[in-house]
Structure 1
C-alpha cells in the first residue's frame, strides 16, 4: 500500500462506495438517500470500478452463501461489455506481437471490433489465400486491452489487502476463508490475461470433443498466437439467446437443452476439464441439422478441473442426490471434511431433505436452481460448512447451464437427463479393467525407475529398523533353540534314570549296597545323571552369558 497510485485507487474505490451508499451498507445502516435498492447499487458500483471488480462480482454471484439473497441475485446481472478501444491501436498491438505488418499476416483485418469486453476485444479477419488460389480461412483475432494486466494486478493487490482485513476482523472468516476466495479468483483472472493459455485450453477442449456431434471447438493458429494476441477459426451460427431465430430454423429445443446438460456433465466427470464461462455470449448453435443441433463454443479463458478426491465426492453427491439418498449426502459431506466432525449426521440429513425434496419431479420452469443453491448454502451455513473455493467455477457453470436450459426448454428434467450420465461414469470408475489401464499407462515410468530403485535398495539394505528387528528375531530363535536343547537333555536324563529303576525292579533284589546294583541300572542311572548335569550346565551358562 506504499505506492501512491494504489492509495489513489483505494481512494477512488472509497469515493465510488460512498457515491452508491455502500459504506452505510457495510455498516448495516439503512440509507434513505437512494431510491435504488442496495443490490442494484452494488452492481452499478462494481461496473464503474472496472474489469477486476466486475468479474469478482460475477464470481461472487455464484456464492450465495457469502451474500444476502438480493445482492447475489443482482450480481448475476453483471455484464462486462465495455466501450471498445481504437481499432488502429489493436492493429498496432497485433503487429508488435507478431513482428509483421497486418497486411502480410491477413488478407483482411477489420478494425471495427466484433465484440468488446473488459479484458479483450475481438476483430474479424481472413488468412491469406491458399497456394491453390482458394480463399483463406475466416478467423477472429482476440487482442488484450492495452495496460490491462497492470491495472488488474493493482486491483488484485487491493483485494488481497481487503481480504486480509476481513479475515482478521470478520465474524465468519474461519468459515468463509476470504483470502482463499481471492486467491482462487486471482488464478482465474490472471489466466484470462494470458491468451497463449486460452489457446491451449481451446486446443485441449477441441481434442476432447473432436468428431462429436454435440459440440464443436474452433481450430487455433498457434503460429499467430502470443500472450496478448490469439487467432482462431471463426465460427458461424446463431447466438444461443437468439431464440426466435432458432425457432425459425426449426431447432428441437428439447434436444438442444439435453445436449447442453450432457456436455456439462461429461466435461466435468469424463474429461475433468470443463468450459467454465458458458454465458450466452460464448455459445453459438449450428442449426444445419435442426433435430440434432450442435453447440459452437467460444472464449476459453476460464476453464476448470477438480482434483480426484473432489471429483469423486462430487459425483457420489450427485448420484446420492438423484437417488434421494440424503443420508449418503450428509455422510459424504462429513467424509470430505466440508462440515465439522461434531455435526450430527441425522440432523444434517434432515436439513438437506427439507431443501431437496420439494424440487424433485418438477420441470426446470418450476425450479429456481439459483434459489435452490441459496437454500442449500444457507442450510450448510447453519452446520458450519466451510466454503470450498475450488468449487466456485463449477457452481458458476452449473448456474449458467440452468439459465440456458430455462431459456431454451423450460420443461427440461435436469435430473432425468443427468442421472444416466453419472451412473455410467461411476460404472466406468469402478471397473477393475480401468486399474489395468492405469497400470499400463504408468508402466513405462515404473520400468524406467526400477533399476535405480533396486540399486538404492541394494545400497541401503538392510534398513536399520529392519536389521534391528532381524537381530532381535535371531536372538529369540536362539533362546528358543537353547531352551529346547535343555529340555531334551533333562527329558533324556529322566528317561534313563527311569529305565535303570525299572531294571532294578525286574531284578527282584533289594539294593543292599550300591555296588550290588545290576550293571544295566548302573549304566542307565549314570547316563541319566550325566544328562541332568548337562541340562543344568546349559541353563547356568546361558544365565551367565546374560
Structure 2
C-alpha cells in the first residue's frame, strides 16, 4: 500500500507537468478508468494546464518528457519506436527528442574521474577540457589528450542518475502491469516488455563498460570495412562511470553544406548510410539502433563515423531470414508468400487465416507496387504492416519495432543528403550477398548438418536423463511436492484477486490527493 501511495504521489507530479505542457492528450485518449478518469484529467487541465496550439501534440509531449527528467526522456525514445501505441506522427516527434541538459560542475566530474579510474585526471591525461563539449541526461563529454598524444573523448556519468532511473523504472513497471491487467487489448502491445526494453537500454547506458563493449564488438565487425569507422575504446581509462574513446574528426552528417564544401560526394554518403546499416542488421545481426543525425559524422575520406552505442539491437538468423523474405515478397507482389513468412516465423497465431492475412498484405502492397522503386519507403511499408497485425492477434515483437525505427531513421538521414536516393538500389548488393550465403540450398544443407551434429552430441545425455526419469517413475511415480501445490494455489489466488481489483480506487486516490494539495 505504501508503495502504491508513493507511485500515486509521483503520478500527481507527472500529471501536473503534462498539464503545464498541454500534453495530457495521451492520457485523455487512453481507454482507462471511464468517466472518473476523464473528470480527473479535466480537473488537472483546468488547475495546472495551458494551451499550446502553436505546437504539435508530439512536440508538446516531448517537451514535457524532457522537463520530467532523464527517465522520461528515455521513455520518450522507447515510445518513438512504438507508433502502434502513440501513433506515427507522435512517434516521429518523439524520435527527435534530444536529452540536452545543463552540464554538471567540473568539481563533480573530477571527483567521479578520480574515484572511478584510481587517479586524478591530471595524471591520466596530458590535458582535459574543464567545460564539457556536450551534456545530456545521462552523461557529459569532455575532450582530452592521452600521455601518448592521442586525442580522445571522455564520457562521464551524471551524478545521481542511477537513483533517478531506479525510482522511475519502478513506477513504469507498476503502470505497465496495471495497464496489462485492466485495459482491454493492452496485453497484445506488451507494455511490460516496453519497460523491460527501457530497463535493458538504461542498464547499458548506466554502466559505461557495457557501452564500451558494444562499441568494441561493432568495431570488430567493421575493422576492415571501407565504409565506416567505429572509434576504439581506451580500456585503461574506462570504468563503470567513465568511458574514454578515440576522438572522431569528421563533419556532422547533418551539415550538408559543409560536406559539399569539403569536397564530399553526399550522394555516395547517402548510399553508404543505407549499406552500413544493412551490413550490421543482415550480415552481423547486431546493429546500432540510434543512427540519427547527431550520432553520425563523415570523415575527410567520406567514410561514416559512428558514436553513442547505448542502444544496440540484435537479430537472430531466423529473424533476418524473415525480414529478407518478407521485403522481397512485397517488392515482387507475392502476397501469399508475404503472409506465409509471418506464420512460419510464429508471429501470427496458427489458427488465423493465411489467405485473409495475404489479402491484408495486398491492401498495403498494391498501392505502392506500380510506383517507382525510389519512391517506396521501406519504413512506411513496415509501419503499415505492423498496424494491421492487431486484427490477426500478432503480439508486439520488440526487436522488430527497434529494427523498424532504425530503418526509418536511416532512410531519413539518407534522403536528407540525397532526396532522390533509391533505397532498394543501395540495399540490393548487401541483400543479394547475404541471401546467397544464408538462403540458398547450400546454406540450408549446412545448417541442417550442423543441427544434426548438435543433436548427436546431446544424445548420450538425453538417453541418461530418460533412463533416470523412467527408473524414478517406476519406483516412486510422478509426484508433485506440497510446496509446489501450495505455490500453484497461491499463484492462482493472486491472479484471481488481481482480476477482481478495480482500477477506480487509484483514480479516486489521485483525486483525493489533488483536493488535499489545494488546501495545504
TM-score (structure 1 length as normaliser): 0.75
Q: Which of 398, 401, 406 is the matching residue for 2:407? A: 398
Larger RCO of the pair (alpha carbons < 8 Å, separation 6+): 2
Residues 269 and 70 (structure 1 numbering): CA distance in 2 closer, same or farther, change over 3 Å? closer
Pairing 1:15–2:16 present:
yes
Query: Within 5 A, what are the aligned runs for 1:200-211?
Result: 200-211=213-224
In structure 2, how many angstroms separate the alpha carbons of the residues matched to 1:374 and 1:460? 47
1:106-145 matched pairs, under 5 angstroms: 106-129=125-148, 136-145=149-158
CA distance in 1, matches of 2:381, 2:329: 17
Q: What is the DSSP-based 3-state SS (H/G/I as helix, E as strand, rest coil) of the residue aligned with 2:104?
A: coil
How far residue 8 of structure 1 moved from its aligned partner, in angstroms, is 4.7
Q: How far apart are the structure 2 equivalents of 1:105 and 1:268? A: 37
Unaligned runs of 5+ in 2: 30-37, 475-520
Task: Choose the corresponding residue for 1:220, options 225, 230, 233.
Answer: 233
Distance 1:94 1:430 in 2: 49
Contact in 2 for aligned 1:220/1:231 (Cα 8 Å): yes
C-alpha distance after superposition, 1:108-152 (max 9, x if no partner)? 0101111111111111000014xxxxxx10011011111111111
The answer as to 2:85 corresponding to 1:72 is: no
- Distance between the aligned counterparts of 1:92 and 1:296, measured in 2? 31
In the TM superposition, residue 157 of structure 1 has moved relative to its aligned partner by: 0.6
Distance 2:346 2:164 in 1: 37
Instruction: Judge conservation of contact 1:428–1:434 (CA < 8 Å) in 2.
Output: yes
Q: Deviations over 1:403-461 (max 9, x none)?
A: 101101111111232234223212201456668987999999999x79xx869979998
Structure 1 residues 482-525: Cα deviation after superposition (integer angstroms, max 9, x where no partner)? xxxxxxxxxxxxxxxxxxxxxxxxxxxxxxxxxxxxxxxxxxxx
Give the superposition deviation at 1:209. 0.6
Q: Distance in 1 between matches of 2:144 and 2:348?
A: 52
Q: In structure 2, the residue corresponding to 1:27 is in which secondary structure?
A: helix
Aligned to 1:422: 431
**Aligned-pair CA distance for 1:173:** 1.4
- 1 CA distance for matches of 2:465 and 2:18? 67
Is it true that 1:248 corresponds to 2:261 in the alignment? yes
Post-superposition shift, 1:224?
1.1
1:231 maps to 2:249? no
1:121 match: secondary structure: strand
- Shift of the 243–339 alpha-carbon distance from structure 1 to 2, 3 Å rule, reads same
Cα 1:463/1:164, change in 2 over 3 Å = closer
CA distance in 1, matches of 2:241, 2:212: 11
Deviations along 1:36-64, whole A, 9 cap, x unmatched? 24333222211111122112212212221
Match of 1:320 among 324, 329, 338: 329
Match of 1:184 among 182, 197, 202: 197
Q: Does 1:308 align with 2:317?
A: yes
Residue 44 (1) aligns with residue 76 (2): no
Given the alignment of the two structures, is residue 89 of structure 1 paired with residue 108 of structure 2, yes or no? Answer: yes
Are the counterparts in 2 of residues 59 and 392 from structure 1 also a CA contact under 8 Å? no
Is the CA contact (8 Å cut-off) linking 1:91 and 1:111 kept in structure 2? Answer: no
Which residue of structure 2 lines up, in the alignment, with residue 376 of structure 1?
Answer: 385
> Quick check: 2:125–2:145 contact (8 Å CA) kept in 1?
yes
- Mapped to 2, the partners of 1:143 and 1:83 lie a distance apart of 14
8 Å contact from structure 2 (residues 219, 230) kept in 1: yes
Rate the CA distance shift 1:363–1:219 in 2: closer, same or farther, 3 A.
farther
- C-alpha deviation, 1:175, in angstroms: 1.6
Distance 1:285 1:371 in 2: 27
Deviation (angstroms), 1:270: 1.1
Contact 1:319–1:422 (CA under 8 A) maintained in structure 2: no
C-alpha RMSD over aligned residues: 3.3
What is residue 282 of structure 2 aligned with on the other side? Answer: 269
- Structure 2 match to 1:386: 395
Instruction: Name the TM-score, length of structure 2 as normaliser.
Output: 0.78
How far does the alpha carbon of each residue in 1:236-278 deviate from its partner, in whole angstroms, 9 at most, with x for none?
A: 0100001000111222222211211111111112111111111
User: Measured at CA, do residues 454 and 12 of structure 1 come closer, stay the same or move farther in structure 2, by a change above 3 Å?
Assistant: closer
Aligned positions, number: 453
Name the CA distance, whole Å, in 2 between partners of 1:380 and 1:349.
Answer: 12
The answer to whether the 8 A contact 1:254-1:409 is kept is: yes
Does the CA-based 8 Å contact 1:322-1:419 persist in structure 2? Answer: no
Quick check: 1:142–1:230 contact (8 Å CA) kept in 2? yes
Mean Cα deviation higher: 415-424 or 28-37: 28-37
What pairs with 1:332-347 in structure 2 (closer than 5 Å)?
A: 332-347=341-356
Structure 1 equivalent of residue 2 of structure 2: 2
Cα distance change, pair 325–418 in 1 and its aligned pair in 2 (3 A): farther
Q: Is the 8 A contact 2:375 2:422 kept in 1?
A: no
Give 1:349 deviation, angstroms. 1.9
Mapped to 2, the partners of 1:155 and 1:254 lie a distance apart of 43
1:390-539 map, 5 Å: 390-430=399-439
**Structure 2 residue 322 is matched with structure 1 residue 331:** no
Q: Which has the larger radius of gyration?
A: 1
2:490 aligns to what? none
Contact persistence 1:363–1:410 (CA under 8 A): no
Equivalent of 1:168, from 168, 181, 204? 181
Q: Do residues 34 (structure 1) and 51 (structure 2) align?
A: yes
Contact preservation (8 Å) 2:209, 2:238: yes
CA gap of 1:356–1:415, structure 2 versus 1, over 3 A, is: farther
